[in-house]
Amino acid sequence: MNSGTGGGTYNYNDVVNIYADAPDPNMQFNVWTGDTSGIANVNDANTTITMPASNADITATYEAIPGPTDDYASSESTTHGTVSGDYIDTQTSDDTYEVLTEVVHANRSKLEHDWTFSVAGGSTVTFYVEAYKAGTEDSFDFDYSTDGSNWTNMLTVTKTSDDDTDQSYSLPSSTSGTVYIRVIDTNRVNKAKDLDTVYVDHMYIRSE
């Protein structure tokens, strides 16, 4: 028994609990190696071994915990609005912005713009955006969709200066592949025609 608890002298066919030692920081249990034929589940840090007729020499092995993967917008499309800069400006938190401003459409102000992400996926998937707005008539909702037609609201940008702080939203853990992120204005009252603006500094989807 190496790197674990449960070593000792046992009889043939005894079922013995075995526990891998706690991993070092940034490491996780990987697999039991060695004389593993009696181990109930070699992939489980806490399992059992049914003792073979001879000595069983087993070792708990560890691996680095995979780091998070950050995915960025890779394309975009504007339904309503004027855009200065582009989605590349959303890939780094550097106070260089993609700037999206409403236009008047059907006698009211509107902004509607979406980006496409290809998401790695993981046990947790989180959307982050660092953005602020100018103007007093509208705020700006960020929504997501996996099919481009059914949208779920995640958060609303209401702050009026760049505080270098992300807003975030936990996406379903099953999220992977193509994800659409949309920004849309919150006030479409008739004659509400002030042209409000949203500044997007940084936006990404983290899988970990």
CB of 125 to Ca ion, least distance (A): 22
Residue 141 engages Ca ion in binding (rule: CB under 5 A)? no
Beta-sheet pairing, 112-119 with 108-110: unpaired
CB of 108 to Ca ion, least distance (A): 6
Residue 143 engages Ca ion in binding (rule: CB under 5 A)? no
Stretch near Ca ion under the rule CB under 5 A, chosen from 26-34, 80-88, 153-161, 192-200: 192-200
Cα distance between residue 104 and residue 195, in whole Å? 8
Query: In 3D, which of 60, 49, 42 has the Cα closest to residue 12?
Result: 49
Site string for Ca ion, 28-67 (x = CB under 5 A): ----------------------------------------
Tokens of 93: 């938190």
Residue 86 engages Ca ion in binding (rule: CB under 5 A)? no
Tokens of 65: 């915990």
Residue 137 engages Ca ion in binding (rule: CB under 5 A)? yes
Contact between 2 and 36 under an 8 Å Cβ cutoff? The reply is no
Tokens of 112: 């509607």
Which one of 196, 198, 203, 205 is in contact with Ca ion (CB under 5 A)? Answer: 196
Which one of 49, 62, 109, 132 is in contact with Ca ion (CB under 5 A)? Answer: 109
Dihedral angle sign, alpha carbons of residues 40, 44, 48, 51 = positive
Tokens of 97: 């912005």
Which one of 21, 95, 107, 134 is in contact with Ca ion (CB under 5 A)? Answer: 95
CB of 81 to Ca ion, least distance (A): 10
Cα distance between residue 138 and residue 186, in whole Å? 5
CB of 112 to Ca ion, least distance (A): 10
Contact between 37 and 2 under an 8 Å Cβ cutoff? The reply is no
Residue 138 engages Ca ion in binding (rule: CB under 5 A)? yes
User: Amino acid identity of 109?
Assistant: S
Place of tokens 């504007």: 78
Which one of 3, 48, 101, 187 is in contact with Ca ion (CB under 5 A)? Answer: 187
Q: Which residues contact Ca ion by CB under 5 A?
A: 89, 92, 94-96, 102, 109, 137-138, 162, 164, 185, 187, 194, 196, 201
